[in-house]
Amino acid sequence: MLSAWLIALLQALLCAALAPLLVGWVRKVKARLQNRRGAPVLQPYSDLRKLLYKETRVAHTASPLFRIAPYIVFVATWLAAATVPLIALDLPTAQIADIIVLVGLLALARFFLALAGMDVGTAFGGMGASREMMVSALAEPALLLAVFTLAMTAHSTSLASVMQHHLTDGFLLRPSYLFAFGALILVALAECGRIPVDNPATHLELTMIHEAMILEYTGRHLALMEWASQLKLLLYGVLVVNAFFPWGVAQDFGPLALGLGLVSVALKLGVLAVVLAVGETVLAKMRLFRVPAFLNLALLLGLLGLLSHVILEVGT
Q: Map the footprint of another protein across residues 249-288, applying CB under 8 A.
A: 288
Nearest to 298 by CA among 153, 148, 140, 152: 140
By C-beta, is 220 or 274 nearer to another protein?
220
Output DSSP code: residue 54: S
Stretch 156-195 residues interacting with another protein (CB under 8 A): 156-158, 161
Phi and psi at residue 153, to the nearest 5°: -65, -45
Coil, strand or helix at 295? helix
Alpha carbon 246 to its chain's center? 17
Stretch 200-219 residues interacting with another protein (CB under 8 A): 205, 215-216, 219
Shortest gap between Cβ of 40 and another protein (angstroms)?
26
> Is 136 an interacting residue with respect to another protein (CB under 8 A)?
yes
Q: How far apart are CA 46 and CA 52, in angstroms?
A: 10
Contact segment (CB under 8 A) with another protein among 20-28, 91-99, 184-192, 234-242 equals 91-99
Contact segment (CB under 8 A) with another protein among 29-37, 92-100, 185-193, 234-242 equals 92-100
By C-beta, is 136 or 264 nearer to another protein?
136
By C-beta, is 97 or 273 nearer to another protein?
97
Q: How far apart are CA 44 and CA 39, in angstroms?
A: 9
Count of residues that interact with another protein, criterion CB under 8 A: 83
Give the per-residue contact string, 103-132, with another protein (x = CB under 8 A; - = no).
-xx-xx-xx--xx-xxxxxxxxxxx-xxx-
Shortest gap between Cβ of 188 and another protein (angstroms)?
16
Q: Of the candidates 21, 48, 87, 152, which one interacts with another protein according to CB under 8 A?
A: 152
Shortest gap between Cβ of 298 and another protein (angstroms)?
12
DSSP string, 219-237: HHHHHHHHHHHHHHHHHHH
Give the per-residue contact string, 292-311, with another protein (x = CB under 8 A; - = no).
x------x--xx--xx--xx
Element housing 97 (H / E): none
The rounded radius of gyration (Å) of the Cα atoms in the chain is 19
Contact 118, 86 (CB under 8 A): no
Helices 175-191 & 123-154, crossing angle to 10 degrees?
A: 160
Shortest gap between Cβ of 150 and another protein (angstroms)?
11
By C-beta, is 32 or 203 nearer to another protein?
203
Instruction: State the Cα torsion 166-76-122-191 to the nearest 10°.
Output: 0
